Amino acid sequence: MTAAAVDIATPSGKHAGNENFPVGSALIRADLRPHVHAFYRFARMGDDIADNPALEPEDKVRRLTLMQDVLLDPSREDIPEGAALRRSLAATHVSPQHSCDLLTAFKMDATKQRYADWGELMTYCRYSASPVGRYLLDLHGEDPAGWFASDALCNALQVINHLQDVQVDFLEMDRIYAPLDHLSANGAEIGHLRGKLSSPGLRKTLDSLLDETDKLMVDARRLPGVLKDFRLRAESATIVRLADRMIAALRGRDPLAERVKPGKRDFLLSGLEGVGWAVLVGLRGKKPREARS
In DSSP notation, 187-246 reads T--GGGGGSSS--HHHHHHHHHHHHHHHHHHHHHTTHHHH---HHHHHHHHHHHHHHHHH
Residue with the bigger pLDDT between 58 and 16: it is 58
pLDDT higher than 80, residue 91 = yes
pLDDT at residue 124, rounded to an integer: 98
pLDDT at residue 19, rounded to an integer: 54
Total Cβ atoms within 10 A of residue 191: 10
Please, which pLDDT band fits residue 222 given cuts at 50, 70 and 90? very high
Residue with the bigger pLDDT between 86 and 18: it is 86
Percent of the chain at pLDDT above 90?
80
Residue with the bigger pLDDT between 10 and 42: it is 42
Please, which pLDDT band fits residue 126 given cuts at 50, 70 and 90? very high
pLDDT at residue 272, rounded to an integer: 81
Residue with the bigger pLDDT between 269 and 222: it is 222
pLDDT at residue 24, rounded to an integer: 52
Question: Rounded to an integer, what distance in angstroms lies between the CA atom of residue 247 and that of residue 223?
Answer: 18
Task: Report the length, in residues, of the chain.
Answer: 293
Please, which pLDDT band fits residue 11 given cuts at 50, 70 and 90? low
DSSP 246-260: HHHHHHHS-TTTS--
The pTM of the full predicted model, rounded to 2 decimals, is 0.88
Packing angle, helices 33-51 and 57-72, rounded to 10 = 160
Those residues whose C-beta lies under 8 Å from the C-beta of residue 122, and which sit 6 or more positions away, are: 155
Q: Are 220 and 180 in contact (CB under 8 A)?
A: no
pLDDT higher than 80, residue 262 = yes
The mean per-residue pLDDT over the stretch 142-170 comes to 97
**pLDDT, tens only, 19-74:** 554 555 678 999 999 999 999 999 999 999 999 999 999 999 999 999 999 999 99
pLDDT higher than 80, residue 256 = yes
**pLDDT, tens only, 246-255:** 999 999 999 9
Compute the radius of gyration of the chain from its Cα atoms.
19
pLDDT higher than 50, residue 76 = yes
